[in-house]
């Protein structure tokens, strides 16, 4: 069950990236590479019913082109001085990590929390 769910997430992620790449061709060369993944997800959420409810394939194509144009228009603004390090944040949980199987712990082990 978990593997299927992971595969579905990967397929959905790749489909959104494909939409972004399709919209990328509608942009100027100097503005390429600044599309927003979250913005693309939001636009797809807004436009999905408009595309699916199109009465014929011609209107569906037109609506898809309009979707791609709105994706192309939504770029990430420049953020000078912004740093996004790939590190873990502080641990919010007060309990310690489990370092051995549960059945090996006994009552003397301090499992409550670390102060």
C-alpha 34/C-alpha 93 separation (Å) is 36
Residue 30 confidence (pLDDT)? 62
pLDDT above 50 (res 113): no
Q: Domain ranges for the chain, please list them.
A: 2-76
The values of phi and psi at residue 35, to 5°, are: -80, 150
Q: Is the pLDDT of residue 47 over 70?
A: yes
DSSP bridge partners of 35: 75
pTM of the model: 0.59
**pLDDT above 70 as % of the chain:** 73
In what helix (H) or strand (E) does residue 60 lie, and over which residues does it extend? helix 57-73
The string of pLDDT tens digits covering residues 59-70 is 888 988 998 888
**Contacts by residues 13-19 (CB-CB < 8 Å, ≥ 24 positions apart):** 16/40, 16/41, 16/44, 19/44, 19/67, 19/68, 19/71
Average pLDDT, the chain: 79
């Amino acid at each position: 069950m978990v593997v299927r769910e992971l595969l579905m997430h990967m397929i959905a992620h790749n489909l959104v990236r494909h939409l972004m790449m399709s919209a990328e061709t509608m942009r100027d060369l100097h503005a390429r590479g600044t599309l927003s993944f979250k913005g693309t997800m939001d636009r797809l959420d807004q436009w999905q019913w408009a595309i699916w409810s199109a009465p014929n394939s011609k209107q569906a194509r037109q609506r898809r082109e309009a979707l791609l144009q709105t994706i192309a228009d939504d770029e990430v603004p420049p953020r000078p001085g912004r740093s996004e390090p790939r590190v873990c944040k502080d641990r919010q949980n007060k309990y310690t990590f489990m370092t051995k199987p549960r059945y090996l712990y006994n009552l003397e082990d301090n499992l409550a929390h670390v102060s």
